[in-house]
Amino acid sequence: MTLDQTQLRMASAHPAHSTVADTMDAAGPQVWEDMTVEVALSVMAAARTGHLVVCDEDGSHTGLVTRAGLMAVRDGSAYTDRIRLRDIADVIGPFASPPATRAEAERAMRCRRLGAAPVVEGHGSALGVVALSR
């Protein structure tokens, strides 16, 4: 597990025209896709975060899981303590590109009913997370 310390904030006075890179938050804890749902929830609680960036065995970003998503899986009738993050169909979500506009990223997240999306550079490394504005 690694913690990405990238922290970028608003660089533009007009959030609708700002890029994802201007408005993203730190990626937060990065975990492996073979982690169980229970362990992932424990990591979230310890890190006091609502999301985790999920990576494959090569360290490439494969998705993002949220506390709400993991709780829904855990509360489901098909849940067992052997379910891994890679077993959850919606782990792999849309990725935001650093030069994309904030408006484009928010439109994609709303379309897919996501509260957040990982910001990923060309090699698959997570740079941060962009969340829907409220």
CATH number at residue 64: 3.10.580.10
How large is the average pLDDT for residues 4-27?
54
Answer whether residue 134 shows pLDDT above 70: no
107 Cβ contact list (under 8 Å, min separation 6): none
> So what's the pLDDT on residue 45?
94
The number of distinct structural domains making up the chain is: 1
> So what's the pLDDT on residue 83?
93
Answer whether residue 65 shows pLDDT above 70: yes
Q: Considering just the CA atoms, what is the radius of gyration of the chain in Å?
A: 15
- Average pLDDT of the chain is 75
> So what's the pLDDT on residue 103?
82
Structural domain that includes position 82: 2-131
> So what's the pLDDT on residue 40?
94
Percent helix, strand, coil in the chain, to 5, is 30, 30, 45
Please give the residue that has the higher pLDDT: either 123 or 57.
Answer: 57
Contacts 24+ apart (CB under 8 A), 38-42: 38/74, 38/81, 40/65, 40/70, 40/85, 41/67, 41/70, 41/71, 41/74
pTM: 0.63
Angle CA 63–64–67, to nearest 5: 150
CA distance 73 to 3: 25
pLDDT per position as a tens digit, 29-46: 888 999 999 999 999 999
